[in-house]
Amino acid sequence: MSIEKLKKDDYIHGGTQKDFYDENQREACRCPLCDADDYTILGTERGLSVVKCNSCKLIYTNPRANNAQENYFGDADTFYNEARLIFKGKKVHHRDRNYEYEVKKIKKYKNGGKLLDVGTNMGFFLRKAREAGFETEGVEPSPALAKIATENWGLKIHNSFLEQATLPENNYDVITLIDVFEHVTNPKELLKKNYSLLKSDGIMAIKVPNGDYNHFKMKLGQLTGKDKKMDIWDCYEHVVHYTPATFSKMAESCGYKIKKCFIPLPIHSPVWANLVGHYYQYPSPVILDWKRILLRNIFYHLGKIELVLRGKTRFGLDLMFIIEKKQ
């Protein structure tokens, strides 16, 4: 069987994502930041559109997939199989270096205390935070993922969306959303909930894909004729696409101020799905994907320089923010 056919027909994944969303599987929405309904379409993927608000300039998916926040309400056995060698201690997770780096950054601002991780998934980030000395607990709405994180790492996980979770107010030194906030359809509601949970001197660490980079990548794809073959925005699950400017507006509208914005290490996703039709979460050999790994590393360093010089960046693939309550 050819690799192309394998990728198209036989890719096994644990989530509920679809190759195409018809009109019954998508929903229109207003701008999550300013509630305007005036926008410019930037591009389309899988029957969904990425737009820019003409009022506040936030980039978001509209229409978006129905129940996009439930994309990981999938099969527990399939999810477990993606990472079974990691759970058995035979492989490392492909993002371990990223998680260790991000925890190290957080510890510059809070060296310990109670840490709440929102959108814990299977617990890979949270276990690294625990190893670094934090008193940890997580919130994960997917029953399958919450069960896996609890049973395999012994983590304390609340199986709920954050807004419905019963948690003590003014209790947490650190709240983290690592590769989660872009999935949230009601970002203001979530930020306000976190505000009530965070101690007065607490911090929140939020990591998101860089909307400026994705816009740049889309334009480059259009110039080369490759944009139709690329999931540039991952808009089947990413419903808001933040830039440094629009994230700052979102945070400040909910009573926060930006303490630090930086470019985290690039993620080098494994390419097993292209070869064997299954997404395994441990690293694949560099030789199989060396060109993209090299480009990501180049963009990482360019992005760091550009962010310092311009306060924004087209080259940084992701952004990480440390924010705190306004005093």
Q: Could you give phi then psi for residue 78, rounded to 5 degrees?
A: -65, -45
Domain boundaries, the chain: 3-17+71-209+242-325
C-alpha span between 171 and 163 (Å, rounded):
16
What pLDDT is attached to residue 313? Answer: 94
Provide the residue type at 158 as one letter. H
55-79 per-residue burial string, b: 16 or more CB within 10 A, e: under 16 = ebbbbbbbbbbeebbbbbebebeeb
Band of the pLDDT at 6, cuts 50, 70, 90? very low
Mean pLDDT of the chain, nearest integer: 93
C-alpha span between 163 and 140 (Å, rounded):
11
Q: Give the residue-averaged pLDDT of 13-39.
A: 91
Q: Which residues contact 131 (CB under 8 A, 6 or more apart)?
A: none
Cβ(149)–Cβ(120) under 8 Å?
A: yes
What pLDDT is attached to residue 11? Answer: 55
C-alpha span between 308 and 290 (Å, rounded):
28
Lowest pLDDT segment from 135-139, 181-185, 216-220, 247-251: 216-220
Within 10 angstroms of residue 310's Cβ, the number of other Cβ atoms is: 10
Q: Could you give phi then psi for residue 188, rounded to 5 degrees?
A: -65, -40
Task: Single out the residue of 65, 58, 61 nearest to residue 24, CA to CA.
Answer: 65
**CATH for the stretch 3-17+71-209+242-325:** 3.40.50.150
Task: Single out the residue of 1, 24, 90, 77 nearest to residue 275, CA to CA.
Answer: 1
